Amino acid sequence: MSSPIAHFYASNLDVPHPERFAQTRFYNEWVVPQGMAYAAGAVVLQEGPWLTQLFLQRSPLHAPFVREELDQFNQLVPHLQRTIQIRQRFAELQLGQNFLAGGLDVLAMPTLLFDEYGLVVHYNKSAAALLNERGGLRLDEGHLQTHDRTTTLQLSLEITKAIRASRGDGSDLNSVVLLPRADRLPLMLMIAPLQLAGAPRTHGGALLFAFDPEASPSITVDMVRRLFVLSEAEAELSVALCCGKTLDDAAKERGTSINTIKSQLKSTFVKTGTKRQSELVSLLLASPAYFLAQKQQSA
């Protein structure tokens, strides 16, 4: 025998003393009940934890293997190896894309994933809500469109540039497109190149993040409370400030005195290491409490 990898062996040709094989207990108690008389096999490919083997079996009614047949099988091995490798790479790439899509779903910010052709292949729940609002963004057979033709062309161009950058062709700087809205501040769209680890450079892709400057921060009391070890009242006050409310607003909504609110704010400053309301709001909006989508509790 030569190399154990990518080389076929036959039981009637390569097993020592084949004439004695039919007299063994293994042959009579296992091979014969399986309806086999001869077998040929090879380890076609071994990569890390992956091991691919191929076995051929013949019954007593068929002729035994001959060396010329094994030579023909060996000529097929490189083609089998390439086929298996392509399948494995595709599975790894698909797994990576699935993980990426799952990762996007935990983001609070509306996010869309584009493939190498500029088509939207995944968008998270926040993006789905934005698309359903009919506020200027929509999908047309996978293509992201806006209500404004000029903006759509600019957006398509920036997505194409980001995909090219993800392939190593062009600048990898993020770009921004502002989508005009009637009587509202523009919707801010940031496009970033995306290169999946281990994926061929010819694939590429892009991510689009949408930011609505008029939307209330998707930040929950429970997450703030757990992140910064605050009391329920302190966390409620912190979230109210993040949503643009004043201390007086918080006092009125909760039916408590302004002095109680100020006392809770002072305690929150101590626990979060901040000194002013602006610092507290900045801290909360830079924390996972703002970026991670929260599951809605059933009533």
- Which tens digit of pLDDT belongs to each residue from 6-56? 888 888 888 888 778 778 888 888 888 888 888 898 888 887 777 888 889
More confident residue, 216 or 30: 30
How distant, in Å, are the alpha carbons of 85, 106, 149 from that of 180? 48, 28, 11
**Structure-token match 């950058």, residue found:** 165
Long-range residue pairs from 48-56, CB within 8 A, at least 24 positions apart, any chain: 50/88, 52/80, 52/84, 54/80
Class of residue 111 by CB neighbours under 10 A (exposed 0-12, middle 13-18, buried 19+): buried
Return phi, psi of residue 43, to 5°: -85, 105
Residue 267 predicted with pLDDT over 60: yes
Nearest to 109, CA basis, from 243, 228, 215: 215
For residue 166, give the H/E element and its range: helix 149-166
Pick the closest to residue 187 from 177, 179, 195 (CA basis). Answer: 179
Pair 168, 125: CB distance under 8 Å? no
| Whole-angstrom distance, CA of residue 250 vs CA of residue 64 | 88
Give the C-alpha separation, 227 to 152, whole Å: 40
> What are phi and psi for residue 185, nearest 5 degrees?
-65, 150
Token pair of 231, please?
């009391």
Confidence category of residue 1, pLDDT binned at 50, 70, 90 = very low
Coil/strand/helix, residue 190 = strand
pLDDT at 299: 36
163 residue type, one letter: I
Task: Give the count of beta carbons closer than 10 Å to the beta carbon of residue 227.
Answer: 15
Percent of the chain whose pLDDT exceeds 70: 84
Query: C-alpha 299: how far from its chain's center?
Result: 31
Q: What is the pLDDT of residue 92?
A: 56
Using DSSP, state whether 52 is helix, strand or coil: strand
Lowest-pLDDT range, 106-110, 199-203, 215-219, 276-280? 199-203
Please give the pLDDT value at position 168.
79
Q: Across residues 256-262, what is the average pLDDT? A: 94
- The pLDDT of 143-166, averaged and rounded, is 92
Best CA proximity match to 93, nearest among 227, 194, 210: 194
Cα 108 to chain center, whole Å? 15
pLDDT at 235: 93
Measured CA to CA in angstroms, residue 159 lies from 98, 145, 232 at distances of: 21, 12, 43
On average, the pLDDT of the chain sits at: 82
Residues facing residue 53 across a β-bridge: 43
Residue whose C-alpha is closest to residue 191's, from 103, 288, 120: 120
pLDDT in tens, 50-100: 788 888 989 888 999 999 999 988 888 888 887 777 666 655 555 555 666
Tokens of 194: 């995306």
- Hey, what domains does the chain have and what are their CATH numbers? 9-96 (no CATH), 108-211 (3.30.450.20), 221-291 (1.10.10.10)
